[in-house]
């Protein structure tokens, strides 16, 4: 049973390793790389070719912006066609037509008769007070007890005369107000000066708003009438009439909406006509609102006549257009950032961002909006994401590519492309040396400045109206404010789904109080002091050659954590104890030393250290030879006439693959050499130079992009540090005891 469990565990581990191998192969597969490139070109090309409304196609080929010049040949009408209003004007007129639609009410002809009948019935009942023909308890629910008592105190004749007169005046008042119209909604909701009243299924009439009465205004008018005509009985009149009057004009939402739709359809879509053989626009002529509408209308007419606006040549040209722009980025990656180009994951991230910005540009063309939504394209956000994930130079070329793609998809929209390019470059450089997440918010100002300057200057050049400029600035401000939030989200998504690590993530490990480093200080104090020294050397060297200082320093902090497991095997920790390796054969000693690399990797994974930092653990030794034990093995082999395999004494590698890991390899040896007691300053530098030269000859820096100029600067920097460390102090005199 136990054996079966072990076999199952072994199979799981093997399966996991196979998956990792497959993923590793795919990440650098040439076929997959070609597929990524072809898919990117295809998706970007669709944004050039496909339009929701084919009539937009001509605008997509030519940047129809007032103030620009017509780049095509002279355009002559092949047939007569109507000039359509611009979508902005037409939608504005449609909206105005809806707003200018009168509310529709239904006339309730029975309301007046029912109300008068109810009121007269109550008044007739009041005449019968003090008789058996009226139920006073029911009457008290309609009229207050005080009023009933006052009427009962009158004689029958006096009461009848008063109520008859009251009845006559109230009936006249009600006929007057019903002729004006009583509505069942608040009159303030009626925005226009009149309403439409459906008198019969086929007839409507207009009532002026000024004559209409709602619940509040009717009460006011009733109170004025009662106070004027009935000195002592106004409360009786108001109480009876107000409770029993019903509106005769009933609002109908259904009929009102139907009328709005009729008014919408009545708005004309055209403003004129162009005759056959009439010149629509001459070559080089400045574009205006009028000739822009003629050009668009001509294209709409072609679509309506079933003419094929998009031809095979257009499709081929659009694919070529997208491919050429994408090639700008690919050429940069191939020649300048080979590491990114080789890694399909990195190439995929950049390609996806390019497709996303292309799709966004396509949306701004194909979705109707009265506002300048093109300034909501979040290119500055993507520029910051690329600068943080990769570097500012890559962000610059990616920004240029994305801005050109936006300009092309939007119909050679030079102004939007320039605004996005300028803002994107400024945004990328604001996060060039980012050290904290709050630093991203500084980019809000620079993005707004980048977009705003282009909007203002281009607006002045084209004599744009101030309200259009302010509208664009408002959208640019929204873009600038939202950019940092989107950047945080983009970085989080990429870091979660891939092994890419940003400087923001690395900054979290720039802490000597990290649990692993505190453990090293307790278990391997000598190694800890060596680590701090190496980090100082490495950071200064990285600064000198323009490498990533933060990554180099943090990588140095964790490069020797594997020594925690067997700290006593390393001389820096052998304080007042013997060297255990003196009692082991050279080959076994070399194995023990090499294990600090594999142990370090496992320990780092347990503490969830990012891979970018873990890479420093095996690469700070690369595939160098453990010289001391190799030399010792050669001595023993000479005595025994046996052979020694040099590979048994080499570290497992890999070699440094970046300038930062190469710097650490140099500084690790340099710091160790600087601690040798028997060496003076000149001896130390001589040994350090010898160590560096040996590593160069051994090919340790072949994959690191480290140049000979970089090596020279690193040597000079180390020399300055050694000189500073080797300064002497004078012996100060002591104060005599007396």
Q: What is the mean pLDDT of residues 157-175?
A: 87
Of 584, 590, 583, 690, give the one whose Cα is nearest residue 631.
590
User: Torsions phi, psi of 273, nearest 5?
Assistant: -145, 145
* pLDDT at residue number 58: 47
Q: In the structure, what pLDDT confidence band is assigned to residue 431 with cuts at 50, 70 and 90?
A: confident
Q: Which domains does the chain have, with CATH numbers?
A: 28-67+286-479 (no CATH), 104-263 (no CATH), 513-722 (1.10.3210)
Lowest mean pLDDT among 171-175, 296-300, 426-430, 711-715: 296-300
Residue 40 has pLDDT above 70, yes or no: yes
Reported confidence tier of residue 130, pLDDT bands at 50, 70, 90: low
Residue 378 is classified by DSSP as -
Q: Pick the range with the lowest mean pLDDT from 257-266, 281-290, 429-438, 515-524.
A: 429-438
- Whether 52 has a pLDDT exceeding 80, the answer reads no
Q: Report the pLDDT averaged over residues 413-428.
A: 93
pLDDT of res. 234: 81
- With cut-offs at 50, 70 and 90, classify the pLDDT of residue 59: very low
Q: Which helix (H) or strand (E) holds 280?
A: strand 279-281
What would the mean pLDDT of 418-423 be, rounded to a whole number?
Answer: 96
pLDDT at 219: 92
Q: What is the CA radius of gyration of the chain?
A: 44
Q: Which residue has the tokens 């990117």?
A: 40
d(CA 291, CA 69): 11
Residue, of 30 and 144, whose pLDDT is higher: 30
Distance of alpha carbon 543 from the chain centroid: 33
pLDDT for the residue 435: 64
**pLDDT exceeds 70 at position 151:** no
Is the pLDDT score of 478 beyond 90?
yes
**DSSP H helix total and E strand total for the chain:** 31, 8
The whole-number average pLDDT for the span 641-657 is: 86
Distance from C-alpha of 569 to C-alpha of 596, rounded to nearest angstrom: 10
Mean pLDDT of 39-58: 76
Per-residue pLDDT, 1: 47
The β-bridge partners of 205 are 197
Which residue from 555, 488, 558 is spatially nearest to 518, judged by alpha carbons?
558
The average pLDDT across 712-732 equals 83
SS3 content of the chain, % helix, strand, coil (to 5): 70, 5, 25
pLDDT band at 60 (very low <50, low <70, confident <90, very high): very low
| Strand bridging mode 81-84 / 270-274 | antiparallel
CA distance 384 to 361: 18
Cis amide prior to 654 (ω within 30 degrees): yes
Q: What are phi and psi of 197, to 5 degrees?
A: -120, 125
Q: Which of 288-292, 304-308, 463-467 has the lowest mean pLDDT?
A: 304-308
The three-state secondary structure class of 706 is coil
Q: What is the pLDDT of residue 2?
A: 43
pLDDT tens string 569-586: 677 766 655 556 566 778
Q: What is the 3-state secondary structure (H, E, C) of 323-347?
A: HHHHHHHHHHHHHCCHHHHHCHHHH
Is the confidence at residue 679, as pLDDT, over 70?
A: yes
**Which of the four pLDDT bands, split at 50, 70 and 90, describes residue 136?**
low
- Between 132 and 345, name the one with better pLDDT: 345
Residue for token digits 């959208």?
475
pLDDT of the residue at 145: 62
For residue 501, the model assigns a pLDDT of 84
pTM comes to 0.64
Pairwise pLDDT comparison (470 vs 17), residue with the higher score: 470
The average confidence (pLDDT) of the chain is 85
pLDDT of residue 111: 93
Q: Give yes or no for residue 603 having a pLDDT over 90.
A: yes
The band of 631, judged by pLDDT with boundaries at 50, 70 and 90, is confident
> Which of the four pLDDT bands, split at 50, 70 and 90, describes residue 441?
confident
Identify which of 300-309, 427-436, 627-636 has the greatest average pLDDT: 627-636
Distances (CA, A) of 322 to 57, 329, 361: 16, 12, 13
In this structure, of 52-61, 226-235, 643-652, the range with the lowest mean pLDDT score is: 52-61
358 pLDDT band, cuts 50/70/90, is very high
> Which pLDDT does position 10 carry in this prediction?
44
Specify the pLDDT at position 13.
44
pLDDT at residue 719 is higher than 70: yes
Which range among 170-184, 391-405, 588-602 shows the weakest confidence by mean pLDDT? 588-602
Which stretch of DSSP H or E encloses residue 87?
A: helix 87-99
Q: Report how far residue 178's alpha carbon sits from residue 212's, in angstroms, rounded to the nearest whole number.
A: 9
Is the pLDDT reported for residue 8 higher than 70? no
Give 159-166 contacts, CB < 8 A, sequence gap 24+. 159/126, 159/127, 159/129, 160/127, 162/233, 163/123, 163/124, 163/126, 163/127, 166/123, 166/230, 166/233, 166/236, 166/237
């Amino acid at each position: 049973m136990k054996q079966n469990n072990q076999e199952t565990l072994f199979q799981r581990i093997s399966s996991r390793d196979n998956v990792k191998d497959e993923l590793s192969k795919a990440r650098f597969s040439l076929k997959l790389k070609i597929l990524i490139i072809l898919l990117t070109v295809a998706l970007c090309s669709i944004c050039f070719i496909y339009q929701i409304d084919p009539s937009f196609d001509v605008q997509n080929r030519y940047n129809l912006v007032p103030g620009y010049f017509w780049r095509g040949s002279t355009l002559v009408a092949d047939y007569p066609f109507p000039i359509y209003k611009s979508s902005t004007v037409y939608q504005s007129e449609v909206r105005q037509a809806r707003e200018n639609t009168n509310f529709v009410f239904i006339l309730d002809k029975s309301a007046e008769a029912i109300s008068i009948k109810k009121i007269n019935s109550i008044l007739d009942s009041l005449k019968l007070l003090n008789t058996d023909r009226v139920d006073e308890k029911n009457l008290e629910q309609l009229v207050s007890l005080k009023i009933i008592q006052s009427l009962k105190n009158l004689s029958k004749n006096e009461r009848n005369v008063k109520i008859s007169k009251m009845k006559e005046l109230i009936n006249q008042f009600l006929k007057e107000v019903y002729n004006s119209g009583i509505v069942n909604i608040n009159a303030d909701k009626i925005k226009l000066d009149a309403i439409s009243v459906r008198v019969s299924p086929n007839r409507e009439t207009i009532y002026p708003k000024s004559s209409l009465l709602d619940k509040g205004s009717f009460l006011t008018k009733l109170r004025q009438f009662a106070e004027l005509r009935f000195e002592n009985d106004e409360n009786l009149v108001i109480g009876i009439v107000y409770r029993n009057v019903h509106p005769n004009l009933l609002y109908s939402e259904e009929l009102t909406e139907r009328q709005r739709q009729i008014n919408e359809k009545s708005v004309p879509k055209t403003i004129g006509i162009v005759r056959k053989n009439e010149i629509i626009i001459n070559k080089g002529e400045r574009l205006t609102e009028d000739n822009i509408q003629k050009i668009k209308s001509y294209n709409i007419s072609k679509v309506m006549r079933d003419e094929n606006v998009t031809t095979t040549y257009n499709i081929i040209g659009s694919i070529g257009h997208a491919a050429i722009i994408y090639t700008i980025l690919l050429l940069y990656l191939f020649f300048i950032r080979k590491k990114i180009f080789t890694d399909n994951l990195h190439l995929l991230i950049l390609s996806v961002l390019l497709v996303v910005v292309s799709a966004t540009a396509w949306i701004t063309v194909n979705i109707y909006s009265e506002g300048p939504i093109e300034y909501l394209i979040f290119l500055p956000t993507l520029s910051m994401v690329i600068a943080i994930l990769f570097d500012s130079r890559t962000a610059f070329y990616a920004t240029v590519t994305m801005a050109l793609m936006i300009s092309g998809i939007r119909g050679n929209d030079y102004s939007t492309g320039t605004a996005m390019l300028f803002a994107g470059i400024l945004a990328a450089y604001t996060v060039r040396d980012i050290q904290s997440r709050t630093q991203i918010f500084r980019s809000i100002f620079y993005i707004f400045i980048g977009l705003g300057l282009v909007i203002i200057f281009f607006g002045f050049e084209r004599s744009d109206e101030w309200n259009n400029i302010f509208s664009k600035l408002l959208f640019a401000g929204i873009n600038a404010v939202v950019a940092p939030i989107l950047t945080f989200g983009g970085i989080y998504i990429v870091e979660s789904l891939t092994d890419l690590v940003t400087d923001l993530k690395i900054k979290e490990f720039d802490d000597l109080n990290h649990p692993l480093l505190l453990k090293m200080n307790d278990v391997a104090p000598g190694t800890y002091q060596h680590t701090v020294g190496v980090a100082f050397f490495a950071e200064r060297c990285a600064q000198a050659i323009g490498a990533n200082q933060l990554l180099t320093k943090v990588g140095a902090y964790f490069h020797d954590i594997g020594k925690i497991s067997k700290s006593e095997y390393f001389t820096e920790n052998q304080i007042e104890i013997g060297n255990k390796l003196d009692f082991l054969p050279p080959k076994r000693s070399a194995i023990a030393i090499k294990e600090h690399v594999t142990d370090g990797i496992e320990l780092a994974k347990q503490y969830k250290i990012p891979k970018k930092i873990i890479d420093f653990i095996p690469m700070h030794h690369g595939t160098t030879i453990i010289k001391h034990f190799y030399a010792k093995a050669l001595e023993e082999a000479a005595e025994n006439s046996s052979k020694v395999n040099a590979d048994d004494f080499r570290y497992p590698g890999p070699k440094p693959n970046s300038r930062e890991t190469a710097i650490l390899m140099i500084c690790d040896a340099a710091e160790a050499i600087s601690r040798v007691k028997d060496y003076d300053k000149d001896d130390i530098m001589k040994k350090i130079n010898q160590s560096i030269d040996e590593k160069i000859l051994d090919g340790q820096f072949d994959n690191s992009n480290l140049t000979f100029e970089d090596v020279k600067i690193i040597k000079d920097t180390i020399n300055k540090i050694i000189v500073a460390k080797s300064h002497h102090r004078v012996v100060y005199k002591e104060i005599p005891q007396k």
